[in-house]
Amino acid sequence: MKINRKLKMGMVGGGPGAFIGEVHRKASRMDGQIELVAGAFDIDPEKSKQMGKQLYLDPKRTYGTYKEMIDAELSLPEGERIDFVSVTTPNNWHFPIARDFLKAGFNVMCEKPMTFNVKEAKDLQKLVKKTGKVFGLMHNYTGYPMVKLARDLARAGDLGEIRKIVVQYPQGWLATALEKTGHMQASWRTDPKQSGGAGCMGDIGTHAENLSEYITGLKITQLCADLTIFVKGRRLDDDGNCLLRFNNGARGILHASQISIGEENNLAIWVYGEKKSLEWHQEHPNYLYVKEPDGPVQVWRRGNGYVAAKSPAAGRATRLPSGHPEAFFEAFANIYCNFADTVRAHIAGETPDELALDFPKVEDGLRGMLFIDTVLASAKSKQKWTPFKKG
Ligand code: NAD
């Protein structure tokens, strides 16, 4: 059945003072395809109600817990109840919440890292397959038009065979024991019971891993990792450096850090091929640099016709004319846009448009969890190379 209305979204997480839930709320409504109608926004039921009020939601659809939300939404007639839920809680909650909503028949958009450990990731993959529901993962950096262009250039063979990939995600905000000051985002990220086995490598190393595989289409097969806890008393890595080997023989370097003072969100990638190379920076996302052996550096600029001509996916992910910058919110909106089109097709029993299927899925989430596991194993091992764990 085709639906001729906005998709109805529910949210778990994103209570007062939370970071990413609000980004999801703003980005999901950017294209007028989605409306937030329900939520269990906070671990504290009172704060969840407070958030619902702040968002002018129907008080009957602001819930104290996510389980209450599932039961109450299921009791509503189809068409009124939510079409999907977005999970924006700390990592330890992703799996139980995603699992229970999938089992109840809802589509799910989930934050990264997808789960708390590999077992949960594998279970979730099986469940997505069994239920046939749409599952999206918020690896938002793949939502940038110039990342899509980079992917299309690399995959069309414009770079030639890829030889080397350098990817980095340095931040500096955890250079001191911020978690001891009661800082909400620092507290759970440095707690192994909420964050998982890795700190920095799980939080932002997984973005770097995902970006490198998305752009090149290659898979990491082996790695050699060195993890460090620099801040005294911290229990999870706050800095990590990895050497990588990819399935075509390409070599790579991935580093992520939360103690690199002065760095904000300096995610960047360099891809070196036999013929050309690419360079992209998240902090200047409207530009993609293409370099040749004997020629000036090309600067491909978002919003121009030549970008859309080379990469229809980049064209589709662009809203403003060139020179009016688009960035973080728009990249989230692009993931939502493709996810929403896929959910609509799913509800209508149709095959989604090929371009709409370009959003991170459960398989990407499993790769991320395998990456974390392999990095942790390698950091403990005395061997130089650790094979990438099997899915
Ligand atoms: P946060 O601490 O700012 O917010 C977490 C929110 O979840 C809080 O409101 C908290 O009360 C709520 N919560 C916790 N458990 C809950 C439960 N069981 N039910 C309902 N609400 C619950 O955290 P954050 O920085 O927004 O991070 C949240 C998630 O988003 C993490 O998994 C993180 O890795 C991810 N994240 C992704 C990006 C990205 O770029 N894709 C950026 C930041 C965070």
What pLDDT digit, counting tens, does each position of 173-204 carry? 999 999 999 999 999 999 999 999 999 999 99
Give the CA radius of gyration of the chain: 21
pTM above the 0.95 mark?
yes
Sign, Cα dihedral of 153, 159, 162, 165: negative
38: nearest Cα among 67, 95, 81, 5: 81
Contact in structure between 42 and 9 (CB atoms under 8 Å): no
Contact in structure between 229 and 237 (CB atoms under 8 Å): yes
28: nearest Cα among 15, 18, 14, 42: 14
Half-sphere exposure at residue 283, Cβ-oriented, CA atoms within 13 angstroms:
10
- Which residue, by CA, sits nearest to atom 2 of ligand 1? 185
Pocket of ligand 1 (CB under 6 A): 12-15, 18-21, 40, 42-43, 66, 88-91, 93, 111-112, 138, 140, 184-185, 188, 203
- Which residue, by CA, sits nearest to atom 31 of ligand 1? 90
In ligand 1, which atom is closest to the CA atom of 40?
A: 20
What is the Cα–Cα distance from 222 to 319, expressed in whole angstroms?
Answer: 39
**Cβ-based neighbour number of residue 226 at 10 Å:** 14
pLDDT of res. 94: 98
> Which residues neighbour 341 within 8 Å (Cβ) at sequence distance 6 or greater?
33, 352, 353, 356
In ligand 1, which atom is closest to the CA atom of 16?
A: 9
Beta strands (DSSP E) in 1-80 are: 7-13, 34-40
pLDDT of res. 323: 98
- 16 C-alpha to ligand 1 centroid (Å): 11
- 294 C-alpha to ligand 1 centroid (Å): 47
Q: Over the chain, what is the mean pLDDT?
A: 98
- 198 C-alpha to ligand 1 centroid (Å): 16
What is the Cα–Cα distance from 180 to 167, expressed in whole angstroms?
Answer: 30
pLDDT of res. 1: 81
pLDDT of res. 59: 98
Where do you find CATH 3.40.50.720 in the chain? 7-141+335-361
Where do you find CATH 3.30.360.10 in the chain? 145-322+368-380
Query: Is the CATH code 3.30.465.10 the one for domain 145-322+368-380?
Result: no
- 173 C-alpha to ligand 1 centroid (Å): 17
pLDDT of res. 391: 86
In ligand 1, which atom is closest to the CA atom of 202?
A: 34
pLDDT of res. 158: 98
> Which residues neighbour 309 within 8 Å (Cβ) at sequence distance 6 or greater?
315
- Which residue, by CA, sits nearest to atom 1 of ligand 1? 18
What is the Cα–Cα distance from 252 to 353, expressed in whole angstroms?
Answer: 33
pLDDT of res. 166: 99
Architecture of the structural domain at 7-141+335-361: 3-Layer(aba) Sandwich (3.40)
> Which residues neighbour 222 within 8 Å (Cβ) at sequence distance 6 or greater?
244, 245, 385, 386, 387, 388
pLDDT of res. 312: 98
Residues of the chain with pLDDT under 50: none
CA distances from 92 to 65, 87, 95, 103 (A): 15, 11, 7, 18
What is the Cα–Cα distance from 238 to 39, expressed in whole angstroms?
Answer: 32
